[in-house]
Every structure is written in structure tokens, then in C-alpha cells.
Amino acid sequence: MSVEWGDVSGDASVPVDDRGFAYGDGLFETVLIRDGKPLLWREHMARLARGCERLAMVAPERHVLDALPTEAGPGLHVLKIVVTRGSGGRGYLPPASPRTRLRWQLSPFAPREDHWRDGVRVRLCALQLGCQPRLAGLKHLNRLENVLARQEWCDDRIAEGLLCDSDGMLVEATCMNLFWLRNGCLETPLLDRCGVAGTLRAALLAKRQVKEVSCPVGVLNTLEALWIGNSVQGLWPVTRLEDASGSLVMRWVISDVHRTFQSAAHELLGYPSTL
């Protein structure tokens, strides 16, 4: 077994028979790079290794991965790493000796500072996530549920959509994790049945007293504060929540509570702690 690698912005194409292209048989990471230094790199590499193990794929060699962020110049960039099982096999059956394929892309990046400052408006999605514990937490390539959920609105004033699983339990936003304050305690959904375990989430779980909980969607009516966030955009306070029809569910006024937790997250990413 071996590894291919190449920059997707160069000559390294992906063949039509690539299993990631054909079946979503692979994983990806999206890493914030500041002046050539990757943020939360340990968490990204741990999740990628965990995903490769769970999918029974050979992980790219670590020295190859560690060299990728150095390609970025000064300023902020996003490094997208895509790892697939490669080509071959008969139908869904993988080849006996797959050749892992690695591709990556670097792009300049500017975060939404207005969302940090002013907070965001979000809505509940009608789509429900299917439960598959074997894939829970992984950032695998099959993101069709997220694509369908994101198609539910085209109003630019709505920053994100919140997703529940098929049992009505809160899971995540379409591309962010959820955090909230309830009865004075910081909480985040337990991702043991579906959803993506974000690297910012992992770092905050290690740094702060954040409890993983299973909660139905009705808990949103009881929260003192709500945030959405990921390792690229940082943490956005939520100021307005709507249901799938656009009706108001809850409002929150940004307070010191919002800023304190936001600062803890932004410290991990090198973003401003005070706005």
C-alpha cells in the first residue's frame, strides 16, 4: 500500500474511478493557516487518523502532511486536505491493496468579523440526519445531508441552519458545531450517533468545562446563550433563531457571557478576544 499526493490546483488530477469521487469513500480536513502555521493541527491530524482507522484506510505519512502548511505564505489561508481510498475494487467492494490518494488545496481566507461582533441569525432545518454510529464524528466525504439542508434557504441574512437527527435530537449546524449555556453550564451535543466532531469543539472540550449532552430540539427554548462555530470561522454568537417556516423561536442579546466563551475559542485560533 502506498500514498499519492498532489496539489489540486496543479496537474494532479483525480481520475473518474477514484472511490472518493464515486462513492464518497474518504475523508477531508479544513485547516486554518496563519503565516504558514496550522491552527489546531494536532486535533486535525488526530481526527484524520481516527477516520482512516475507522474506514480501514491507510493514512498518509505524517511527514507529508506536516509539510503541507509550509506552502502557505503570510496571512490567513485555508488548507483543504482530501484523502480517498484511491481507485479500484469491484463496485462497493474496495480493492485488496488500495493505494490511498491524497490531494490538497490552499486558498486565501478572510473570516466574517461582522458575525463575531454582531452575532448571527439561524434557522432550524427540516432535514433530519440519519444515525450511523460507525461514522459519527468523522469528517467523511459523503456530505449529501448537509448539501440538502443548506438548500433549504437562500436568505443571506440567515447564517446557518441547525440540524437534528431522525429522533429529533440536536446535533450540529450544516458546517459548524453547536454550543450553549443552560442553567449556567456550557454544553454541546453528544456526537455518538451522527454529526462531525469539529476540531475547535475538541480543543474547547479539553480546555473548558463543556459537557456533552443529548438534548431534543425543545431545549433551544431554555438556553441562556447559543453559539455556532468551527476551526476556520471561530465562534459566532446566535442572536435570533427561527423555525423552518421562518417564524421566530428565540432571541438572545449578546452579553459578557457570549464574549467570554467566544474569547476562549478565539484564543485557540489567534482571532481577537475582544471586539
Q: Which of the residues are catalytic?
A: 30, 139, 172
DSSP assignment of 134-185: GGTB--BS--HHHHHHHTT---TTEEEEEEEETTSBEEEESSSEEEEEETTE
Instruction: Enter the DSSP assignment of 258.
Output: H
| CA 232 distance to own-chain centroid | 9
Q: How many CB atoms lie within 10 A of CB 210?
A: 18
d(Cα 30, Cα 79) in Å, to the nearest integer? 6
Nearest to 212, CA basis, from 174, 243, 237, 182: 182
d(Cα 239, Cα 130) in Å, to the nearest integer? 28
Three-state DSSP string of 74-100:
CCEEEEEEEEECCECCECCECCCCCCE
